[in-house]
Chains A and B, each alone.
Chain A
Amino acid sequence: MNFEFRQRSSKINTVLISIIISIIIGGFIIAFAGHNPIGVYSKLIKGALGSKFAIASTIRWTTPILFTGVAAAFAFKGGMFNIGVEGQLYMGAFLSALVGYMIQGVPKPLHIFLCIVAGAIGGAMWALIPAISKVYFGASEMVVTLMTNYVAMYITDYLVKYHFLAGGAFGSTLVTKEIEDTAKLTKLWSNMSAHTGILFGLLMVFLFWIILNKTKLGYEVHISGINPKFARYGGVSVNKVRMSVILISGAIAGIGGSVEVMGYLYKFMSRFSPDFGFDGLAVALLGGNTPFGVLLGAVFIGIIKAGSLQVERATAVSRSLAMIIQGIIITFVSCKNMAIHVPMIKNVKNLFLKYSRKEKS
């Protein structure tokens, strides 16, 4: 059994039906928890779009997912299943936070640039392990990346606890020192959580589009993903492509981590990521691994995350509801035969209309 991931484009029909079904199932789960589904959903929408604060929150939650989504989508395009985005995010964030507070007295653009480079290096370095195991040892990158996720979380915890703890040996939370002001990204509006990282994220989506459609690398990635044998006959070094794809994917995830540190956290915090990596994976799958799809998906997830936070504040409904709804959506989106059932529904409707017309006459 091999886990070679084959690309599959999602039809719009399928995505829409999946979203509707998952909203309905989510409604049942909410009702089971003893809350009013319509109330919860309306609070969700309000919490995501209902006010300037809400929109800022949505922007804040969309930003990291733009990075992890592009990272995952880029890897998928190359036929590689990089689930290790979460771990690469952590490593990038950690290195970035270090560069953020250890380097002092440099102008802001330079400092931010250095932090981003550090993030990319951290992520790519962490992605080197699954890259080498896949290309030189033939191991399944899915299992290796999954395992490196957990290792990344533990290693960063260890590094913070024993070597980089803010407040010396008596620090109370697992955080590093706060980064210099010259490394912080400016907020879009004061007192709200959105920051200029969103611009970096959008730039990343744009770069993804350019690389994929306008460069030789993008072509090679595309072909290697769809049909590695054909790629090899065409002279593409599939091994080199796979290596670069995983490393670039890791670098992008690492940059995502560094943007999160520079724009919101201002330090490295242990276990800071509420599944940004898996959300990115979901977004890439939902969006069919295309740049525009990732953008839409990331905004969608950003809305759900921002909204579910507000819901958690206002009711007792946990924010993990968002995870459940996401999971249900992806489950149904991946079903090839979903769109087939739509004509069936049309047929049933026609039968029903015919029958009711007969009754009238």
Chain B
Amino acid sequence: MNFIYSLLMVTARISTPILLASTGAIYSEKSGLPNISLDAAMIMGSFMAVYGSFFYANSNIGILYAAIIGAIIGLLYGIVCVYLGGDETVVGISFNLIGWGLTTFLLPVIFGTTGSFVSSDIIPLAKASIPLLSSIPLIGGIFTNQTSITYFSWIFVIITSIFLSKSKMGMIVRTCGENPQAASTVGYNVKLTRLLCSIITGCMCGIAGAHLSIGLMAMFSEKMTAGRGFIALAAVTYAKADPKKVLFISILFGFSDALSNYLQLLNWPSDLILCIPYIFVVIFVVLDPFINNMKIKKIKALGENVSL
């Protein structure tokens, strides 16, 4: 039983970057501008978190810097796509190239090393357990020894859910995504909304990246996101930007990541185990439209009209 406790603890820790990034991406997705540069904001966030933590000897400054750089990337992405007419997929991929290239490039410039930067002067995030909740036998693990970003990500999921469904601004965001012509006819600035949502997405991805570099360990290495930004993108796309589904899928992916970490301890070939999260995403992405089709077939069989 101790095993489940620690497995859940690790799952909560590892799924945080994907959870936060994909929940942030919900805003972009809902506003009608799909944001593919999640990985770019994440890796820049990881880099700046290490920068802030190292030079200011304070991990919270690291989080702040990560949030700022993420917001900047979101801003640039929004400007290029909305105002300069860039194609989102192309710009997203090229932003990722720039993000990887820039962080690799700046490693020797700022820290004087290549490959990766490790130093005992990088302050990792402080970890805390919630007193009562962490004593719950099985699931208490998720409340034990987690970073502030992890707890924040859960609160953020709740905020996002309430914001999008109950608040006026949330409704504006949704309208811009579902029917931009109607939204602009009523007078809402669709371009500005999408830009702002892009900034929020970038900011959250930056913080997610911070958790990756100074939350789990205290280092930065080239391309350390290992495609997690794309996994978050898959999560958002396949959950159709529904906060509850995104939460579920992100934790599922995080769980597969945690499982792969755990299996490595069992002396299985590490390369094959590292494949597990990616294979997981593929299986999920492949089965999801299949399951959707089956649901639709069921409904059609009942003789009702279905609009997709």
Q: Is B91 an interface residue (CB 8 A)?
A: yes
Q: Are A143 and B281 in contact (CB under 8 A)?
A: yes
C-alpha spacing A289/B105, complex, angstroms:
29
Residues of B249-299 whose CB lies within 8 A of A: 269, 271-272, 274-275, 278-279, 281-282, 285-290, 293
Which residues on A sit within 8 Å (CB–CB) of B233? 143
The 8 Å CB contact of A158, one of B87, B226, B271, is B271
User: Would you list which residues of chain A between 129 and 150 have a CB under 8 Å from chain B?
Assistant: 129, 133, 137-140, 142-144, 146-150
- With most chain A CB atoms within 10 A of its CB, the pick from B96, B102, B282 is B282
For residue A249, give the distance in angstroms from its CB to the closest CB of chain B: 16
Taking A138-B289, A282-B94, A334-B86 as contacts, is the C-beta distance between A1 and B105 under 8 angstroms? Answer: no
**In the complex, A148 Cα to B286 Cα: how many Å?**
13
Query: Does chain B have a CB within 8 A of A336?
Result: yes
Residue A110 CB within 8 A of the other chain: no
Q: Min CB distance, B178 to chain A, in Å?
A: 11
Check A150 against B278 for contact (C-beta < 8 Å). yes
Contact B98 A337 (CB under 8 A): no
Within 8 Å CB of A327, what residues of B? Answer: 94-98, 101
- Please pick, from A8, A138, A143, A334, the residue contacting B230 in the complex, using a CB distance under 8 A: A143
Contact call A151/B275, Cβ cutoff below 8 A: yes
Q: Which of A83, A318, A320, A338 contacts B84 (CB 8 A)?
A: A338
From 1 to 23 in chain A, residues with beta carbon under 8 angstroms from any chain B beta carbon are 1, 3, 5-6, 8
- Asked if B160 is an interface residue, CB under 8 A from chain A, the answer is no
Alpha-carbon distance A158/B104, docked complex (angstroms): 26
Tell me the bound Cα distance from A318 to B241 in angstroms.
39
* Interface check A331, CB cutoff 8 A: yes
A296 within 8 A of partner (CB): no
A163 to chain B, nearest CB (A): 10
Bound-state CA distance A281–B94 (Å) is: 10
Is the CB of A29 closer than 8 A to any CB of chain B?
A: yes
| Nearest CB in chain A: distance from B92 CB, A | 10
- Collect the chain B residues with CB atoms within 8 Å of residue A3's CB: 34, 89, 237
Whether A285 sits at the interface, judged by CB under 8 Å, is yes
Looking at the complex, which one of B86, B114, B272, B281 makes contact with A147 (CB distance below 8 Å)? Answer: B281
- The tally of residues in B whose CB lies under 8 Å from a CB in A reads 52
The answer to whether B101 touches A320, judged by C-beta atoms less than 8 angstroms apart, is yes
Structural contact, A331 and B85, CB atoms closer than 8 A: no
B93 within 8 A of A: yes
Closest Cβ–Cβ distance, residue A86 to chain B (whole Å) = 11
Interface class of chain B by DSSP = helix
A327 to B104, CA, bound (A): 14
- Tell me whether B278 and A323 are in contact (CB under 8 A): no
Contact: B100 with A320, CB < 8 Å? yes
Residue pair A324, B105 in contact (C-beta under 8 Å):
yes
A residues in contact with B94, CB < 8 Å: 282, 326-331, 334
Chain B residues with CB under 8 A of A267: none
Q: A139 touching B281 by the CB < 8 A rule?
A: no
Report whether B104 and A318 are in contact in the complex, using a CB–CB cutoff of 8 Å. yes
Contacting pair A1 B271 (CB below 8 A): no
- B289 x A83 contact (CB < 8 A): no
Most buried by A among B80, B93, B114: B93
Chain A residue at minimum C-beta to C-beta distance from B34 = A1
The answer to whether B104 and A139 touch across the interface, beta carbons within 8 angstroms, is no
Q: Across the interface, which residues of A come within 8 angstroms of B269, CB to CB?
A: 158, 161-162
Chain B residue nearest to A142 (CB atoms) is B89
A33 on interface, CB distance cutoff 8 Å: yes
A21→B227 CA distance, assembly (Å): 28
Which residues in B have their C-beta under 8 angstroms from that of A1? 29, 34, 237, 240-241
A53 at the B interface (CB under 8 A)? no
Given A318-B104, A327-B97, A147 contacting B278 (CB threshold 8 A): yes
Whether A117 sits at the interface, judged by CB under 8 Å, is no
The answer, yes or no, to whether A211 is at the interface (CB within 8 Å) is: no
Q: Is B10 an interface residue (CB 8 A)?
A: no
Which of A147, A278, A317, A324 is the most central at the interface, judged by chain B CB atoms within 10 Å of its CB?
A147
Residues of A within 8 A of B118 (CB): none
- Cα–Cα, bound, A316→B105 (Å): 10
Taking A143-B282, A151-B279, A282-B97 as known contacts, 5 extra A-B pairs with beta carbons closer than 8 A to each other, sorted by chain A number, are A6-B87, A137-B290, A324-B101, A330-B94, A331-B86
What are 18 A-B residue pairs whose CB atoms fall within 8 Å in the complex?
A3-B34, A133-B286, A137-B287, A143-B234, A151-B282, A154-B275, A161-B269, A318-B105, A318-B114, A320-B101, A323-B100, A323-B104, A324-B101, A324-B102, A329-B94, A331-B86, A334-B87, A338-B84
